[in-house]
Amino acid sequence: MTRNYHQLSSDKVLSELQTTDLGLNNEEVKARLAKFGHNVLTEQKSTTLLQKFISQFKDLMIIILMIAAVIAFFAGDASDAVIIFLVVVLNAAFGVFQEAKAENAINALKEMTTPSSRVRRDDSIQIIKSSELVPGDIVLLEAGDIIPADLRFIKANSLKIEEAALTGESVPVDKNDLSIETEKLPIGDRHNLGYMNTNVTYGTGEGVVTATGMQTEVGHIANMLNSVDKSITPLQKSIIHLSKILSVLVLVIAALVFVIGIVADRASILEMLLTSISLAVAAIPEGLPAIVTITLALGTQAMAKRNALIRKLPAVETLGTTEIIASDKTGTLTQNKMTVEKIYQNTRLQDAHKVDLNLKNRLAQIMILANDSQKSDQGLVGDPTETALIQYYLDKKLPVDDVAREFPRVTSLPFDSNRKLMSVVVSNNEQQLIMTKGAVDELLKRTTKIEEDGKVRELTEKDNEQILNTNHALAQQALRVLAFAYTPVQGIDSTSSYESSEIENDLIFVGMIGMIDPERPEAKDAVAEAKKAGIRPIMITGDHKDTATAIAKRLQIIDGKDSRVITGNELDQLSTEQLDATVEQYSVYARVAPEHKVRIVKAWQKKGKIVAMTGDGVNDAPALKTADIGVGMGITGTEVSKNASDIVLADDNFATIIVAVKEGRKVFANIQKAIQYLLSANLGEVLTLFFMTMLGWDIFAPAQILWINLVTDTFPAIALGVEKAEANMMENKPRGNKSSFFGDGVMSSIFYQGLLEGGLTLGVYQLALTFPFHNSYELIHADALTMAFATLGLIQLFHAFNSKSIHGSIFRKDLFNNRMFNWSILISGILLFATIFVPAFNDTFKVTPLAPQQWLVVLIGGLMMLVIVEIVKLFQRLILKK
């Protein structure tokens, strides 16, 4: 097939691609998908499980340890060599598990945020994943869409495409469906072609797919690059940097242990080498970046289940710091559908849900008949105001179709912005009636009578004043008010045309209704929760000031005494400096254009605030990118706005943003818990071995060091990453943009808890020497070392419970609410103590069976860790309260 599609007519292109403007059928789509593949750019091939396993052995320290183990094996120390090999292989297997789990979670995230396209297939419009497009598909486009593949336009209505990504030309290009004679043209001059990943900025169009995936223009560029950027988040970078610093410190300590051990003749050079390398391998937190990745990825999956789709991992980190949420009103804070709230008839105003109406009521008949709404498979279609009038009766389960059958329409006078009225003429066997709805003041000019309790009488000045006062009162509540009237007519037929002055006269007033796009039921609670969490909700809307103010008051974004509302026109009168100085005064921005959003975001950011901003239109994209967290709308949002966002709300709901913030805070807290646990445990191991060496005591065997690190560090740390949110999570203020994982007392906790672990382990060792259970010198020291080994392991298991909350007490009813954590502690405990309780393992791990009294000492040593840390946390809470 030719690639010079710009030279061919639309019909010829369709013929070349063996398709029609009705689209492909499903069988042909399957065949072409098999032939051309999915419409995706080729990524770097993912590594196999074997490759992942082999890569675990590329670490220099692991290689040195393996070499030392081989030397030990041939030197006659087979048990140490075997256990080292076993631990290294198990550690590698667990590393593969971590890497695969993180990769699967991230792939699931990509799947959830796959762009979609509207296509015509089998002569019907379908929404499909863009990855499933094939050459010959007919794609429908409108402003805000991202072009999903290379296209030849077959229809173009005022179509403009922004192609800066390919051509560097920032001005949108006008597109048409006309063929071009010139054969060789630059990409920017092919005005009948569209290219993958460019943006529709204006108009509508249809195009036939000419190329997908790597065959597109973007695909050719991707081919030349020949690599895929595997960027990591700022958090992961900082964790990797921390790991490198700690690795250097651990290597220095390991070198000291080796040198001191040799000088003091603690053991042979080979034994000290194995011990020092084992210490380094165990103490370096190489699993920390993987734990962070898994926690972040699992956090995104949890958010997705709550309708918040995270498109970029760094957004998870930033969510917990959010201080300002600037939200659109319509559809996000409100339901995006007009609803009848008040009804005025018979000179009385009532709440709509309290009115007992039947379809013989004249007001009900006019609301239904003076209406151009149509029923469809998707529900009512038409002007939102008119659909609301009929929906009011449908919600009451009243047969509105019976009214239309009883009073068939003869003719109508459409709404006119000058007279602000709309009328229909209906007829039944008895009479003809003109039914009119419109603006209150305009309708009253044409009204002479009023219907009250089924009786018609003259409209008095008092009636007129009461109607106008009620209208004003409803308008003050930001309700949209419509008035309704009717009058009998004669001789109106459907073939003639009529002027308003001929028939819209001498009307009988029957009532008014007040309607509004009401707030979402859950939005008020979400706003309250945001405020409680120290987050300031801000409303930004294109709606009128009165409407915005009313909804803001109903949601308690502002209170009754607060008039912090500014309009777009007033915003234009403020200089950048003036807005920067006064931005904190306003919580509601009304009648604003999308370009105002960027100014608002920047003004708040200059105050040092972390800003989340919602948007759904093409023009919102700059504000979404400027904000610290760009929040796109999944239902009403354009593809451009979604692409510019960090998060997409599948339900367009403000409450979902608060859910995402809560989840973001939880993810941060869980990573913080894992970091504190891992680093304090590793510090405890390093200090124990270092002081054992300095004091001239027997030291842990390499197998003991590696085994403790494998079974008591990794499993609980991973489990801490999936802890449930603490009860008071949303009662704390946002962390702010200068927050650190080592803030809030975490760094000091790591040091004192590491020292405490080491001190308690050494204390048990000394106690075992002071009050020996045997007379034999060798058995005394063997028991002491075994008790220290068991104590260090048990301390870390108890400390894992401490780490379930940085400052909160663990003595609460939800202590065991994390099933994964419970299993990790149980499995770790079994693996640790199996080395002592199972005789076959005693020689391998160089441990001895312990008597009940010795186990009691070990248990008390372990429990002391839990008790002391909880006492310290109690004092921390008391100090924080002050």
- Residues 144/639, Cβ–Cβ less than 8 Å: yes
Long-range contacts of 430-433 (CB under 8 A, 24+ apart): 431/488, 432/488, 432/489, 432/490, 432/491, 432/492, 433/407, 433/486, 433/487, 433/488, 433/489
* Residue 744 DSSP class: T
Exactly one of 77, 80, 177, 328 is catalytic; name it: 328
What distance lies between CA 510 and its chain's CA centroid? 49
Cα separations (Å) of 81 from 85, 87, 557, 595, 793?
6, 10, 67, 68, 22
Nearest CA to 119 out of 90, 99, 139 is that of 139
Distance (Å, whole) CA 650 – CA 573:
36
Strands 588-590 and 536-540: parallel
Q: Which residues pair with 489 in a beta bridge?
A: 432
Q: Which residues pair with 150 in a beta bridge?
A: 211
Is 328 noted as a catalytic residue in this protein?
yes
Distance (Å, whole) CA 626 – CA 630:
8
Any idea which residue has 């800066």 for tokens? 164
Query: Concatenated DSSP letters for 451-465?
Result: EETTEEEEPPHHHHH
Q: How many CB atoms lie within 10 A of CB 578?
A: 12
Nearest CA to 592 out of 642, 552, 542, 521 is that of 542
- Residues 31/57, Cβ–Cβ less than 8 Å: no
**C-alpha triplet 135, 138, 143: angle, nearest 5°:** 120
Distance (Å, whole) CA 560 – CA 323:
23
Nearest CA to 194 out of 148, 133, 130, 251 is that of 148
Q: How many CB atoms lie within 10 A of CB 484?
A: 27
* Backbone torsion region of residue 416, taken as left when φ is above 0, otherwise alpha when ψ lies between -120 and 50, otherwise beta: beta
Q: Which residues pair with 483 in a beta bridge?
A: 438, 512
* Residue 714 DSSP class: I
Q: Where are the beta strands (DSSP E) in 97-142?
A: 116-121, 124-129, 138-142
The DSSP element (H or E) to which 174 belongs, if any, is strand 173-174
**C-alpha triplet 50, 52, 58: angle, nearest 5°:** 110
Helices 288-305 and 234-263, interaxial angle, to 10°? 150
Instruction: Point out the residues that are catalytic.
Output: 328
